[in-house]
A = this chain, B = another copy of it.
């Protein structure tokens, strides 16, 4: 059982932000929140913004100093709006997430966020092993505290899930999952033969280039990989078109007699 990843907010000013952070954490499966000298906490705005994550607020560790909040942590990464200095290793968001979940094996790991206006102070940075920054728009990098925590805890969750799925193919197994029975090759061929007959009947196929339209339709349907009952619907449509056209043709023939 690995230890927790702790989110540490240093001197947050707005109680609403503390609630938003709790909510963001819980959506990403993190529960360990420490607050260093929050200006106002507990507070109704924090509870309101936490929505269903008020259990995290109730369990939050309110600390008088940063050192207290970091007790037991073997890795401390600070979140910084942008590259602050060359003194600290700069990690991108994914690498930071990987390092945090790897460090859990040894004990708690902490991800630190500074006060809303000023960010982490030099004293805070001195506690950090590395810094991470979200690669925001250089013209407008103003993520609020809750959003910054949402993005970084999302990366942590992605790293946790990737680790859990280790060895399995990545989530991109997409398109085929849960789909109904794909049509067999002969069912698909039956549809194309039927389509060809119907297209002749409605004079759509150019006798000079009989194969062109059908080839395009084959490609289109090959990409879709039709299911069995989709082929049945398509055959049903063609049958109904055949009947409607036949009624017309019969009537015309009849009229001409």
On A, residues with C-beta under 8 Å from B are 23-24, 26-29, 51-53, 83, 86-87, 89-95, 130, 134-137, 139-144, 146-147, 150-151, 154, 157-158, 161, 170-172, 174-175, 177-180, 199, 201-204, 213, 216-217, 219-221, 223-227, 229-230, 233, 236-237, 240-241, 243-252, 254-255
Contacts and interface: CB of A to CB of B under 8 A. Distances in A.
A159 B89 CA distance: 23
A27 B140 contact: yes
A95 B174 contact: yes
Contact of A213 (B27, B29, B172, B233): B233
Contacts of A53: 140
Given A146-B147, A243-B202, A220 B226 contact: yes
Number of copies: 2
Nearest to A55: B140
A27 B252 CA distance: 65
A147 B150 contact: yes
B223 A225 contact: yes
B255 A248 contact: no
A203 to B, nearest CB: 6
Contact of A245 (B23, B178, B248): B248
A136 B249 CA distance: 59
A244 B245 contact: yes
Contacts of A199: 237, 240
Contacts of A220: 224, 226-227, 230
A253 B68 CA distance: 46
Contact of A247 (B175, B216, B230, B248): B248
B223 A174 contact: no
A188 B85 CA distance: 24
Given A29-B137, A248-B252, A92 B151 contact: no
Question: Which one of A83, A154, A224 has the greatest number of beta carbons of chain B within 10 Å?
Answer: A154
Pick the 6 closest A-B CB pairs, nearest first: A248-B248, A92-B171, A86-B178, A224-B224, A202-B244, A251-B251
Contact of A27 (B51, B52, B130, B147): B147
A214 to B, nearest CB: 10
A255 B244 contact: no
Nearest to A30: B137
Given A27-B147, A86-B177, A203-B244, 15 more contacts: A23-B142, A51-B142, A90-B174, A90-B175, A92-B172, A95-B174, A136-B157, A143-B150, A202-B237, A217-B233, A221-B224, A224-B224, A244-B248, A248-B249, A251-B255
